Amino acid sequence: MARPLSLFTRVSILSAFCIIGSYNSSAATVSGSSVTYASMNVNLTTEGSLDWRQFGGTASITGSPFFNEKVGANELTVVNNATNGARGSSGTTSTWTDGTPFPATSSDKEIRFTGGLGLPRVITIDSLADLSPRRVRMYVAARDGGNGTITATMLNSANTPIGGSFSDTLNDDTDAMFELTYTGDSIGDKLRIVWGITSLDVNALSSADVTLASITLAEVPEPSSLAVLGLGALMLQRRRGGSARPSGHRNDTFSNPRRIALTTSRNREGVVMHTGNPLSHSPMAD
């Protein structure tokens, strides 16, 4: 009769199925959130392990195309950019050590989208998708009565919407970080992100605008798989810990199964002698 699977074995099998299932999802997804801040120093090299862009140039070069980028990366693509120029940011400083045209520096520059020449004025960025989840972070701001909107939509290689979408707004005089987490359905899918100025407050100043300082892209660990693997590791640890026997405990499985009856006697020289014969009763009996 076959022995039933142990709890540890069942957990290990479940872990494997969860990993296979989670990395072969049948639907493209996207979700988002935002965090506001007064000031932020972003390490693009650390945060953008797959790719990054810094917009607005640096203090010594602010001409077109107004950006630095990660060396050797092509996961992010600027599809169109209706910027009105660059300016210094009051909230975000970007730092990097793997960029071009500036290899390593920091910058508080950002690109502007103003409302003086018609609305909306936006930038469109495509971020390549994968079958495992990825994370985009965008550092933006709204100033002097300008209001911005971000939309993020999953597209396939033919630019057809294939999954969910995300949308949010940013009001006047606010710095914020938008975080987008997304997963593709097949190779060639992408997340299309549109950000720009879409409206003005009634009392907006002529300098009203929204801005973009930088964007980063990185992979995201699969939470469900990590949790199940953690449970499996815990069960293994408990299993190993529970198998230890206290010092001095006799292990009947590996001890001699034959019990010996000892007889003590003295020889002619007075030396104590021990002789023994196997007992016929059960080895488990005391």
Taking only the tens place, the pLDDT of each residue in 258-279 is 444 444 445 545 544 545 554 4
**Percent of the chain predicted with pLDDT > 90:** 54
- DSSP state letter for 112: E
- DSSP state letter for 48: -
The rounded distance, in Å, linking the Cα atoms of 146 and 210 is 6
Cβ neighbour number for residue 179 with a 10 Å cutoff = 14
The rounded distance, in Å, linking the Cα atoms of 185 and 199 is 34
Report residue 4's pLDDT band, with 50, 70 and 90 as the boundaries: low
| Strand ranges in the chain using DSSP code E only, listed in sequence order | 29-37, 40-43, 51-55, 67-70, 76-81, 85-88, 92-96, 99-100, 105-107, 109-114, 121-128, 134-143, 146-155, 161-170, 174-183, 190-200, 209-219, 260-266, 272-278
Model's pTM, two decimal places? 0.70
Give yes or no for residue 257 having a pLDDT over 50: no
- Asked whether residue 2 is domain-assigned, the answer is no
pLDDT at 158: 95
Among 9-18, 35-44, 168-177, 195-204, whose mean pLDDT is lowest?
A: 9-18
pLDDT at 240: 56
Count how many Cα atoms sit within 13 Å of the Cα of residue 124 in the half-sphere of its side chain: 6
- Asked whether residue 281 is domain-assigned, the answer is no
Cβ neighbour number for residue 23 with a 10 Å cutoff = 14
CA–centroid distance for 231 within its chain: 20
pLDDT at 196: 96
Count of all residues that appear for the chain in the document = 286
Residue with tokens 């997804």: 29
Q: Please, what is the Cα angle at 35 between 32 and 40, to 5 degrees?
A: 125
The rounded distance, in Å, linking the Cα atoms of 96 and 104 is 5
Give yes or no for residue 218 having a pLDDT over 70: yes
The first and second tokens of residue 198, run together, are 């879409």
- Asked whether residue 124 is domain-assigned, the answer is yes
Cβ neighbour number for residue 96 with a 10 Å cutoff = 27
| CATH code of the domain covering residue 120 | 2.60.120
The helix or strand, by DSSP H or E, that contains position 226, with its residue range, turns out to be helix 223-243
- Number of domains observed in the structure of the chain: 1
Give yes or no for residue 143 having a pLDDT over 80: yes
Residue 147: which domain range?
Answer: 25-224
Rounded to an integer, the average pLDDT of 77-105 is 90
**Percent of the chain predicted with pLDDT > 70:** 65
Coil, helix or strand for 200? strand
pLDDT at 19: 44
pLDDT at 2: 55
- Asked whether residue 230 is domain-assigned, the answer is no
- Asked whether residue 231 is domain-assigned, the answer is no
Give yes or no for residue 210 having a pLDDT over 70: yes
Among 85-89, 137-141, 148-152, whose mean pLDDT is lowest?
A: 85-89
The first and second tokens of residue 48, run together, are 């953008």
The rounded distance, in Å, linking the Cα atoms of 202 and 191 is 33
What is the rounded end-to-end Cα distance, in angstroms, of the chain?
A: 31
| Digit-coded pLDDT (tens) for 14-38 | 454 444 444 444 489 999 999 999 9
Are 225 and 20 in contact by the 8 Å Cβ rule? The answer is: no
Among 12-21, 108-117, 120-129, whose mean pLDDT is lowest?
A: 12-21
Report residue 163's pLDDT band, with 50, 70 and 90 as the boundaries: confident
The first and second tokens of residue 27, run together, are 């639907």
Sign of the Cα torsion 215, 186, 30, 159 reads: positive
Report residue 89's pLDDT band, with 50, 70 and 90 as the boundaries: confident
- Asked whether residue 219 is domain-assigned, the answer is yes
Give yes or no for residue 239 having a pLDDT over 80: no
- Asked whether residue 242 is domain-assigned, the answer is no
Rounded to an integer, the average pLDDT of 193-198 is 97
Are 229 and 235 in contact by the 8 Å Cβ rule? The answer is: no
- Asked whether residue 240 is domain-assigned, the answer is no
Look at strands 105-107 and 76-81 and give their pairing: unpaired
